[in-house]
Chains A and B, each alone.
Chain A
């Protein structure tokens, strides 16, 4: 493995100072002259036909500049799954039906926010209420009301995976169990609510600043919904305060801001309230998972039969991808000689679920990992031993789906057992005390082109200058995960430069090269990283040529970019500074600037991802046996993310996923009463606080991912998955209560303990 100068170090983030001092500019900080403020009118009912909308009183209110409804906009349906247009099921504003409480019905732009808000109250909408469905069982019942008239049975999509002979494997098995799990909806709860500002120029072109993970997708879908050309839309991503999957689609306020900026000739801003975010926003899919597994007596896994019903809410959003992925994760981590998966994405009259950190994995792995722990208990095998016996190893193939390249899962299991002193702690009989385990695998970006992009998946342009600096331009979007820093590090490493030698322009669809699919599925480090390396190598090729000519080097000499110089390996005196080398190339090319483009598109990588990450986590809890309160004392994590590019970033990702996993396990839940989200404030939507955080210790298992940039792969998204099953297992040891339906509330623990007697 190569030794690195900058890669692997805990280089401070490029945005650290701006964020710490409050000077980072988020979308809502943008104020343009003459700017109008928009607000959205949302449906108060879960399912209804719109009979009539009267906007006249709102339009007459002084200060109101524009009021639009579904009737005013082009009737274009959109959605991220462009490859299958029948899955594109949304209009920016409702046309004839509303399908969930919060569905966008009309938009107002006015001179200030209060006036816009007041105008909303002056719009009268006549609804004819329709019967509604609020869970997957009701939605799939014969004769159930249809959320979308054209989708029979409310199942918008099914996904099947099948290999091996499942039926005969179950017949051979000594031990078969079937369990049903349910998991709740949770919110991304990014700290920055969605916000967008649009401006229309003299030529009618639109610029949209928006809090998004996917500027390119927003650009394309905005073009199609506005019936404009892609190049007439410019999307810029300012500093973004988190997304976690909740900002990866075109959203109605982005459309409305652009549409109204064009119609009024004035900039228009929309910023959502926290209440809107919690009550109507995207969320992680609630699921019902029915899983049957078969083992031999000695613990060898033989087969799994998994059925997952995803409660998708009123629209597909990123549900189709989640349906694919939860089936994929059902067969990850362990070797299943036979596997059958059926995933159904079901419409209900609730706010749509979509992508959220883990993208189907947290749900699927909660079920899988809990079931492993149940099986271990009944087979009388230590749960870590049972996992080691079945663990995936490098080279394992999942037929038709993926081949696993680098894989340090066994090492993770062995490591975490040692770190946590597992054998000893697991035996403890202390009252209310327990340790438990959960594991994960995750993807490093997706390979399936559901957006049907005509460009490379990731692209990077590098411009080199004679003053020894370079300019990196990429559409890759840093939404707080730190990709700006990591991409700079990769480029600095390749070109032998320092961080401050690199100027960075990102996530501006008019200025950075087409294209990048955005930030989701842990794709940026691997894909944009590879694009950066591709560009850097092209730069190097030219610099090496110039230096080689200048020193009349024998062709067998190898050259390097190192410490700000371009030189022969082992003979640094035969070399020049980086800037001089650039000047030489420029001279050779009679003044032509040294500019290159690199790209990356995964090819021949199956259906899922170019690379999988792995990890194992042990939780230690103390449960108050009389109140059912869980105190998570310690978490030990061993994970395999390939080469660590930035140690501080990886550490931050680990902390963040622990925090999110903790909430998923114990306290977070969007409580629904029919179609109403009951807890729409941070008072009652319970995100763990800093004081709830357990002490965490982690270790990276060293592996090298051949497909990754400098051997790197995913870190931090997958790690959100093992926490809930690990805590659930620990709580079971502590109390006898085995959680089959997240979250693990004190009430469930107490009643679970009572049932045990």
Chain B
């Protein structure tokens, strides 16, 4: 497979937007390239223009503000993100998800937003970011829009991002008082691997009851998927091991996994239930400040 394309490394966002506009559907954005280059080599995409965005100044910003929450720039590396003091302090579940992604070398090249834009059903950073109410900021030459991450994914490898568009950042609200989140994943080769299944959950407690719960499962459907029946089971209840086990079971039932070389559908179903149950336990403990 021989691929020939124009390579651009613009220094400004304006220039990125201009190139995106010019090349339309034939352009690919390149952040860390840890997904894109593999796809190009495999012939899965055949861009005529590759636009590298790491040279754009300021695009790798990670910042936290007690009113606006967390800001993740388009080229923020997974490793910088996982090591950022504000992330560690306020969003330990997001840190865990970033650390569950690939290995040290890949995290030093790959970006959080590249992980989302690649739109793999097993993207490790998606479930928790969705569960915590993250929003993608999308820009193009014709203006911008904000897309809740919940609505971001359309199918394996497909997102709402159209030709000419770039995700410039993702924002995550300040975790409310009494809330906690957790991300757990597993694969056969346990510690550094593409996940066979994953679960990101967020819970908020109010007077010892669950006021809000979001459960998002990875690798058990075409897109990271919300377990709304399991969430309903939790609503208004006091957190307990038995409750979380029931929610886990419900989540397993809702999941729509496929069988592939990484795991069978029935195993994925069973395992995602266990992960949801355990993640809820960890999230509730974090919410209580244990």
Assess the A686–B188 pair: CB atoms within 8 A.
yes
Q: In the complex, are the beta carbons of B194 and A627 less than 8 A apart?
A: no
- State how many angstroms separate the Cβ of B120 from the closest Cβ of chain A: 11
B266 CB to closest chain A CB (Å) equals: 8
- Cβ-neighbour of A692 out of B103, B191, B270, B274 (below 8 A): B191
A745-B188 contact given A626-B274, A689-B103, CB 8 Å threshold:
yes
A683, A687, A747: the one contacting B194 at CB < 8 Å is A683
Known interface pairs A678-B261, A689-B103, A747-B267. Does A667 touch B274 (Cβ–Cβ under 8 Å)? no
A689–B2 contact, CB under 8 A?
no
Interface residues of A, dominant DSSP? loop
Residue of B whose beta carbon sits closest to that of A669: B261
Interchain nearest-CB distance for B288 vs A (Å):
24
**Chain B 170-209 against A: per-residue CB contact (8 Å), 1 yes, 0 no?**
0000000000000000101111111000000000000000
Contacts of B2 in A (CB 8 A): 114, 117-118
Distance between Cα atoms of A688 and B193 in the complex (Å): 10
How close is B155's CB to chain A, nearest CB, in angstroms? 20
Q: Is B263 an interface residue (CB 8 A)?
A: yes
| Chain A contacts for B264, CB-based, 8 A | 747
Listed by A's residue number, 27 A-B pairs whose Cβ atoms lie within 8 Å are: A114-B2, A626-B274, A627-B186, A628-B267, A629-B186, A629-B190, A666-B188, A667-B188, A671-B261, A679-B261, A683-B194, A684-B261, A686-B188, A686-B189, A686-B193, A687-B189, A689-B103, A691-B191, A691-B192, A692-B189, A692-B190, A692-B191, A745-B188, A746-B188, A746-B271, A747-B264, A750-B270
Residues of chain A within 8 A (CB-CB) of B154 are: none
- In the assembled complex, A501 has its CB within 8 A of some CB on chain B: no
Q: Is B242 an interface residue (CB 8 A)?
A: no
B192 to A, closest residue via Cβ:
A689
A-contacting residues, B22-69, CB 8 Å: none
Contacts of A684 in B (CB 8 A): 194, 261-262
Give Cα A429–Cα B203 distance, bound, in whole angstroms: 36
Question: A678: which B residues are within 8 A, CB to CB?
Answer: 261
Partner of B191, one of A117, A118, A689: A689
Q: Does A174 contact B (CB under 8 A)?
A: no
A689→B105 CA distance, assembly (Å)? 13
Residue of B nearest to A686 (CB): B189
As a 0/1 sequence over residues 662 to 680 of chain A, the CB contacts with chain B under 8 angstroms (1 = contact) are 0000110001000000110
CA distance A686 to B262 in the complex (A): 9
- A144, B210: Cα distance in complex, Å: 64
Most chain B CB within a 10 A radius of its CB, from A627, A692, A746? A627
Residues of A within 8 A of B263 (CB): 747
CA distance A671 to B263 in the complex (A): 12
Q: Which single member of A627, A683, A688 contacts B271 (CB below 8 Å)?
A: A627
Shortest Cβ distance from residue B46 to the other chain A in the assembled complex, whole angstroms: 14
Q: List residues 625-671 of chain A with CB under 8 A from any CB of chain B.
A: 626-629, 631, 666-667, 671
- Please give the residue numbers on chain A whose beta carbons come within 8 Å of chain B beta carbons, in ascending order: 114, 117-118, 626-629, 631, 666-667, 671, 678-679, 683-684, 686-689, 691-692, 745-747, 750
- CB-CB under 8 A from B189, the residues of chain A are 667, 686-689, 692
Kindly name the residue among B189, B194, B270, B274 whose own CB sees the greatest number of chain A CB atoms within 10 A: B189
Residues of B in contact, count (CB < 8 Å): 21
A757 to B266, CA, bound (A): 18
Which residue of B has the minimal Cβ distance to A681?
A: B38
Smallest CB gap from B275: residue in A: A627
Given A626-B274, A671-B261, A678-B261, answer yes or no on A631-B190 (Cβ-Cβ < 8 Å).
yes
CA distance A173 to B278 in the complex (A): 51
Scan residues 223-276 of chain B and give those whose CB is less than 8 A from a CB of chain A: 261-264, 266-267, 270-271, 274-275
CA distance A269 to B264 in the complex (A): 41
* Chain A minimum-CB-distance residue to B278: A626
- Distance in angstroms from A752 CB to nearest chain B CB is 13
Q: How far is the CA of A139 from the CA of B266 in the complex (A)?
A: 31
A689 to B264, CA, bound (A): 23
A750 in contact with B190 (CB, 8 Å): no
CB distance from A598 to the nearest CB of B (A): 46
What is the CB-to-nearest-CB distance from B10 to chain A, in angstroms, rounded to a whole number? 27
Contact B191 A627 (CB under 8 A): no
How distant is A689 from chain B, measured CB to nearest CB, in Å? 5
The 6 closest A-B pairs by CB, nearest first: A691-B191, A747-B267, A686-B189, A626-B274, A114-B2, A679-B261
Q: Report how far A446 CA is from B192 CA in the complex, Å.
A: 39
List 17 additional A-B contacts (Cβ < 8 Å) besides A667-B188, A692-B190.
Answer: A114-B2, A117-B1, A118-B2, A627-B186, A627-B271, A627-B274, A629-B186, A667-B189, A679-B261, A684-B194, A684-B261, A684-B262, A686-B189, A689-B189, A691-B191, A691-B192, A746-B188
A678 to B262 alpha-carbon distance, docked (Å): 11
In angstroms, Cα B187 to Cα A667, docked, is: 10
Shortest CB distance A210–B (Å): 26
Tell me the minimal C-beta distance from B246 to chain A in angstroms.
Answer: 15
A586, B158: Cα distance in complex, Å:
79
| CB <8 Å contact, B267 and A746 | yes
CA distance A678 to B260 in the complex (A): 10
The smallest beta-carbon distance between B131 and chain A, in angstroms, is 21
Please give me the residue from chain B that is nearest to A666 by CB atom.
Answer: B188
Assembled-state Cα–Cα distance A628/B190 (Å): 11
CA distance A750 to B191 in the complex (A): 20
* Closest Cβ–Cβ distance, residue A186 to chain B (whole Å): 14
Listed residue (B103, B188, B262) with the most chain A CB atoms within 10 angstroms of its CB: B188
Which residue of chain A has the shortest Cβ distance to B267 in the bound complex? A747
Q: Which residues of chain A are near B190, meaning CB under 8 Å?
A: 629, 631, 691-692
- Of B103, B186, B267, B275, the contact of A750 (CB 8 Å cutoff): B267
Tell me, in angstroms, the Cα distance from A679 to B263 when the chains sit together.
Answer: 12
How distant is the Cα of A631 from the Cα of B267 in the complex, in angstroms? 18
CA distance A219 to B188 in the complex (A): 42
Tell me the minimal C-beta distance from B60 to chain A in angstroms: 26
Q: How distant is A669 from chain B, measured CB to nearest CB, in Å? A: 9
Instruction: For the complex, give the distance between the alpha carbons of A660 and B1 in Å.
Output: 33
A122 to chain B, nearest CB (A): 12
CB distance from A15 to the nearest CB of B (A): 24
In the complex, which residues of chain B have a beta carbon less than 8 angstroms from the beta carbon of A679?
261
CA distance A746 to B189 in the complex (A): 10
A629 to chain B, nearest CB (A): 6
Q: List residues 76-124 of chain B with CB under 8 A from any CB of chain A.
A: 103
In angstroms, Cα B264 to Cα A754, docked, is 16
Please, which residues of chain B bring their CB within 8 A of the CB of A750?
267, 270
In the assembled complex, the Cα of A25 lies from the Cα of B2 at a distance in Å of 28
Q: In the complex, what distance in Å separates the CA atom of A29 from the CA atom of B275?
A: 47
CB nearest to B277 among chain A residues:
A626
Contacts of A117 in B (CB 8 A): 1-2
Minimal beta-carbon separation of B193 from chain A (angstroms):
7
Which residues from A are CB-within-8-Å of B192? Answer: 689, 691
Q: Name the residue on B nearest A748 (C-beta).
A: B267
Least CB distance, A739 to chain B, in whole angstroms: 14
CB nearest neighbor in B for A273:
B41
**Residues on B with beta carbons closer than 8 Å to the beta carbon of A667:** 188-189
Which B residues lie within 8 Å of A114 (CB)? 2
Q: Output the nearest chain B residue to A688 by Cβ-Cβ distance.
A: B189
